[in-house]
Amino acid sequence: MYAEQLALRLSPNPIYVATAHIWDEEFRQRVMKHQERRGSQWTNIEEEKYLSRHHIIGKVAVIDCITLWLTNYFYSEYSENSDYSEHSDISKVLEAAKEEFDKFTTQEATYIFVTNEIGSGGVSPDAIQRRFTDLEGWMNQYVASKADEVILMVSGIPVKVKG
């Protein structure tokens, strides 16, 4: 909600880029409720991977979220490869995501990226989750290094980290 409120302060007609893959009917209903809640002033774009396909020049856009977006890259890379071990290489996934992020953000626009801080909760006993946590952490660091401002939400309270 914070990202949406920020976008509405910056533009009367922001863009909402939803990166989630809709796996089932329950999730589809959830997405529809979120779209209804946002209202008609928003332009909704659903894009699981290739953000740069969409032209948002001069617009304010909320991209929600990096975690789900990376899940789509991660799943694509490993769906045919059952080796999710601690030694599996996720560098290809990270490089593909960085390349797409850079391509997308070359457009003159205001970007508000939403993400999750999944590495704060300890180390998972699951190899897949550890690999994804590493990927998420590296991508979050990359995005934060490019950002003018970084806000960490703690119990619904915005805490300025950068900017």
| Active-site residue list | 34
d(CA 106, CA 131) in angstroms, rounded, equals 29
Token pair for 93: 């996934």
**C-alpha to C-alpha distances, 28 to 20, 32, 53, 126, 132, nearest whole angstrom:** 10, 6, 23, 28, 24
Residues 6+ away with beta carbon under 8 Å from 45: 15, 16, 17, 18, 54
d(CA 149, CA 151) in angstroms, rounded, equals 7
d(CA 17, CA 15) in angstroms, rounded, equals 6
Residue with tokens 């599996």: 88
d(CA 120, CA 146) in angstroms, rounded, equals 22
Report the DSSP beta bridge partners of residue 152. Answer: 159
